[in-house]
Structure 1
Amino acid sequence: MKGNNQVITFWLIAAGLIVAIAVALLFVLPPLLRRIQNKPPVTPKSMVARLLGERAAAIMAGIAIPVLAVMLYFVRPHAPAIPQAQSQTAQAGKMAPEHALVVEDMAARLEQNPGDGKGWYMLGNSYAVMGRFADAVIAYEKALKLLPDDAQLLVDYADVMAVANDRSLRGKPLEMINKALRIDPKNVKALALTGTAAFQAEDYSNAVKHWEKLLKLLPQDSPFAKQMSAGVAEARAMIAGKKKPSFGAAQDKAQPAAGGAQISGIVTLSPALAGKVAPDDAVFLSAKASGSTAPVAVMRAHAGELPLKFTLDDTMAMMPEAKLSDHKEVTLSAKISKSGEAMSQPGDLKGEVAQVRVGAKDVRVVIDKIAP
């Protein structure tokens, strides 16, 4: 019952967003794909426009799909996914194979015409919809060099960068979101994410400030507005001291995965590398299936917690359709990053154990190598 009681307002917000956007995509993408297939090859810009030209129908006043992952994981990184949210995300995912063919063609055309900023931007959106966040980051980066003052691009880029960097808004993602708000103070997605970052940092006054600005931009009777109002009420309760944070707190333990698929063990640091590590350095642990670059379970800690005992399960999935329980074996990778970024960089300290059986216990991952 405790886990159920801790499912708060933001889960409702995330679920509402997923339902609305997934349904919109079900209507938007199929006709766009049919139009592309029924016409001869065209320029990169028109190819991109045909795929996502009706993007507004799938955005809800500027909130693109990646914000769903961000809100779900910023709000409560290791919490179980909502069944309704899983169902809707899975529905959108069924379109992926057909969508992927168009996206790959789009990417090839953009390589031939790299000066198309809007094309790179829409390619980034496509990758984000597909859950290919690392590819989305690259596409957005190319777009931003050509469109440096596009507020929506800044916030979309920050969004997927945060997802790729273990769901952390701190640092560059938040800087870009703040820049987007300076350019467009009424950017809905930027206001939502800034408020989320403030709430996560227990800066409830600023969370209220940003979300109240957001509420003024939403239809009063919309489900999203009602859910955001509940979020504001919760933040105000925090300020008044009437309530303890119900997410993001260290004592808030995620419920075990329903299927019981887990891997547990310990991450240790080789004594030979101990002098290269500070207590505040970020530690990332991920489980990846063979042949895949996307993790099926992730967790983050600090070097000061080493040796780190861990349990990975389905509650730590980045996307509900890519879970630990879907596989028999995975590779466990651990790394220490001074930059705090999940994406590998030279100088990161790493360790890996291959062919780990799902269900294994007492797995030992030793960080004993330096990334070149």
Structure 2
Amino acid sequence: MTSFILFAALLIVAVIAILLPPLLRAPKPSTGADHREANLAIFRDQLAELERERENGSLALADFEQAQNELQRRLLDEVQPAASAPSETRPGRKTALALLVVLPLAAAGGYALLGNQQALDPLQRQARITPQQIEGMVAGLVEKLKENPDDSKGWLMLARSYKVLERFPQAAEAYGRAGALVDQNPELLADYAEVLSRSQGGDLQGKPTELVERALKIDPNEPQALLLAGAAASDRQQFALAADYWARLLAQIEPGSEEAKALAAAVERARAIAAQGAAAAPAGQTAVANGSAVSGEVTLSGEVAGQASPDDVLFVFARPDEGPRMPLAATRARVGDLPLRFRFDDSMALAGGKKLSDFKTVSIEARVAKAGKAQSSSGDLFGTLSGVKPGSQGLRLLIDQVQP
């Protein structure tokens, strides 16, 4: 709307700028006076000529009087406009003022009467697609896919359309027909898992969990996959695992936002429930977990301390020394919490089900994430202990390096 009004105003200004100068310009000295003076001189010459002819006797008295009267009449006709000129006003200036006022008002009034005023409202200009129109487009897409069933992009579009219509079983089926387009994309795998779960009444176990795990193998920090993985772990009453998934997601959310607050509360509840469950666990299970646990303390070197602030995010995690570098366990804190005590055991296993006790040695890494995310980035501060055997206690991990 603003652009249209500005354009219309500029157009009116341009028209006025073209019309006004000739009307407002001071008139040049009139040539009418010169013309009248020339005519008067001619009249005087003609009158003198008439008098000479009368004196010479070549013109009769009656003819002289008639010619003299004709000259006098013509003289009066010539002089009369000049006498009345001073009393006339300048119509050009009045016209200019009228245009200046009337033209914008006329344009606005004309648009108000004849124009489409709703077109000035950006909300009115937005396309309003009704559910019936979406249904029509979906039906047309279904017909096209019948003719070309190998169109992966078409199946993906159909899946998303069914999701908008909350027709989750059909959406899940369409995702399944999209093939490799979904299989290699962690975001689409997570979306597929969600619609499949919703088509099963919210149950994430089984294939939805498999899809989530595949998504996290491609991208360990895919947000929707982390959210669903935490929910699936919570459904299995693996609350420590759920808390870890959600903590990894929390690291990617803007601190202080409503989403961050809600997720942080869920992480704390899951950890509290996990702690209660560990306290009530049978002695044999506790002994197994304790036997593979690693624990210690993280500190920050004075050489790099000036590059960190108390609110910077701190991650501490365990990785296998050999094989995939997927974290086995992780925790999240702040630089202000240093020195920080940590403890990892099999109950804190992350995606894929791998545990500390499955490996001969692991690495423990602490990282001050300047970007607030778990993945490393330039400027991060970190420290690493390698070759740590499961069951090691009293470890000392010093953060003393800067990521190039």
TM-score (norm 2): 0.40
Higher relative CO (Cα under 8 Å, sequence separation at least 6) belongs to 1
TM-score, structure 1 as length reference = 0.43
Report the structure number with the largest CA radius of gyration.
2
